Structure 1
Amino acid sequence: MDLLTMTWRDVGFMHWPVEPDIVQTTLPDGLAVDTYDGQAWLSVVPFQMADIRPRGSPIGRSFGELNLRTYVVADGTPGVYFYNLDADDRLSVTLARRLFQLSYYRASMQVRTDGDSVEFRSCRTSSRAPPADFHATYEPTEPPSTPEPGSVESFLVERYRFYAASDDGTVYYADIDHEPWPLQAGRADIRTNGLFAASGFNRPDGEPLVHYCAEIPVTAGRLHRLDGVAQYTD
């Protein structure tokens, strides 16, 4: 049953390949790193959360959001695992932490758009986690298309479950639903990126694989506690 409706706008994806063992050591019990052609991935995703609301509610909230995520499997179901969920909305952060046990952190964000070009700034203000600043401009370079099944693009974006750990280490998951991503290849000028260091990673080598999506409506279901232990074998 859908619990929330929302629209994600001005979505930027900045993906870096990394060694699977580096990621696996950071994951809580129950999650196994997922790989594409032998590589794990870390992705920074800035976007605008628009009109998020409980289903049927006449009132929604909109704010900037930024996350660092990787790609995992639990009990045979692929998904994304969030290392952080930073948001520029005090009420939403408070509700996410108190009601859903999600590790959201308060941040101050500024988002400026010029056509399809997006400038995104974020400064984490929460004292619950290490400081993390981010500043980038990103934009599409090609028309939108649906990722081909089996492609790295499909591996990175076509996932319909997310996992996140609470402060006490308990892992929760929820399912989301939306149409296939109208994804566009893109480019990014990343001036500041403190998300890797804040989550205990060295910054990956090389330039990221960049994608962009102008807008996609999304629904999300209820949060569930994850049971069971996943195993990763290289």
Structure 2
Amino acid sequence: MPTGHPLHGSPPDRARPHRPAESLTPLAPRPLRRVLFRQHWQDLVFLHWPADPFEVSGLLPAGTVPDLHEGRTYVGLVFFRMHDLAFGRTPALPYLGSFGEVNVRLYSRDALGRRGVVFRSLDCDRLLPVLAARFGLGLPYRWSRVSRQWFDSRLLYSTRRRDGARPGARVWIDVEDEPAAPGPLGEFLTNRWGLHEQALGRSYYLPNAHPAWSFRRCTLLGWDDGLVPAAGLSKPAGEPVSVLYSPGLPVRFGPPVPLPASATRFA
């Protein structure tokens, strides 16, 4: 990791003990003592571009900094279908527990070395989950129209917001049956065992657990995006540097853990 600037790391402070970060690509998440809610993610499409760490830093919750891979941080545009949303050990919610989602995400690290994601926006086509997530966890959900269509081996996602200037996004990929390895960058972007967010003036970490990802070979046929600039970031320049497709997996989330109040900024 480069040194010399707080956004890229700096020489360790001799007055403070060094806290090593977690493994870059952990083999498995830490066990959850209690499950807050469960869900199943299906037909995920990940598009990623390099992002300016200075710009990203100003958009993260207090107590976190941009997480870097080989000196770079990234912005992701992720399309998927959510199924079987459930709370604790209760059965999955009928109708309201299944919906399309498109999110804009950044990559973060906190003072304890925990790597996570920070959602700048989450577009969802069910209003009640939008309201519950916004007011319950402070997550920036937006009520939108989200569609997913398969045409043989080709998958099309599109979304459009229902209010304001109505920014939207779409992606068009061809999916093969052959498995694909994500590579070091793909592992960095997808092996994330929690998210960072801020609600009621306090930052928190929300852990999750899920099986190992599986990916398939895919070809990007087309894309269009208005959600990344709407989320406060520069519009992506050029083609995505990483395109991944996963058929999906089940996910469990634990209760939120507050970040230390003193850890507002760190090197």
Question: Scaled by the length of structure 2, what TM-score is found?
Answer: 0.78
Match of 2:234 among 193, 202, 210: 202
**Farther-moved stretch of structure 1 (211-220 vs 109-118):** 109-118
Q: Residue 30 of structure 1: CA displacement?
A: 1.2
Partner AA of 1:71 in structure 2? Y
Q: Which residue of 2 aligns with 1:136?
A: 171
Match of 2:117 among 80, 85, 89: 80
> Does the 8 Å CA contact 2:65/2:265 hold for their aligned counterparts?
yes
Matched, 1:59 2:89: no
Match of 2:212 among 167, 176, 180: 180
CA RMSD of aligned residues (A): 2.1
Q: Which residue of 1 aligns with 2:256?
A: 223
Q: Secondary structure of the equivalent of 1:144?
A: strand
Q: Residue 158 of structure 1: CA displacement?
A: 0.5
Q: Secondary structure of the equivalent of 2:178?
A: coil
Inter-CA distance 184–20: structure 2 relative to 1 (3 Å threshold): farther
Q: Which residue of 2 aligns with 1:121?
A: 158
Q: Which residue of 2 aligns with 1:100?
A: 137
Question: Scaled by the length of structure 1, what TM-score is found?
Answer: 0.88
Inter-CA distance 116–3: structure 2 relative to 1 (3 Å threshold): farther
> Does the 8 Å CA contact 1:32/1:230 hold for their aligned counterparts?
yes
Q: Residue 193 of structure 1: CA displacement?
A: 0.6
Q: Which residue of 1 aligns with 2:190?
A: 157
Q: How many matched pairs?
A: 227
Partner AA of 1:96 in structure 2? A
> Does the 8 Å CA contact 1:185/1:210 hold for their aligned counterparts?
no
Distance 1:121 1:131 in 2: 13
Distance 1:199 1:169 in 2: 20
Larger strand share, 1 or 2: 1
Question: Which sections of structure 1, spanning at least 5 residues, go unmatched?
Answer: none
Deviation track 1:9-33 (CA, whole Å, cap 9, x = no partner) reads 0100001112322321322321100
Inter-CA distance 18–59: structure 2 relative to 1 (3 Å threshold): closer
Deviation track 1:191-226 (CA, whole Å, cap 9, x = no partner) reads 431112101222222211100001211111122333
Inter-CA distance 17–170: structure 2 relative to 1 (3 Å threshold): same
Q: Secondary structure of the equivalent of 1:2?
A: coil
Distance 1:59 1:211 in 2: 28
Q: Secondary structure of the equivalent of 1:131?
A: coil
Q: Residue 154 of structure 1: CA displacement?
A: 1.0
Q: Secondary structure of the equivalent of 2:129?
A: helix
Distance 1:42 1:224 in 2: 24
> Does the 8 Å CA contact 1:73/1:230 hold for their aligned counterparts?
no
Matched, 1:171 2:207: no
- Aligned residues: percent identity? 28
Deviation track 1:23-55 (CA, whole Å, cap 9, x = no partner) reads 213223211001111111111001001111113
Distance 2:87 2:37 in 1: 4
Question: Which sections of structure 2, spanning at least 5 residues, go unmatched?
Answer: 1-33
Q: Which residue of 1 aligns with 2:9?
A: none
Q: Which residue of 2 aligns with 1:90?
A: 127
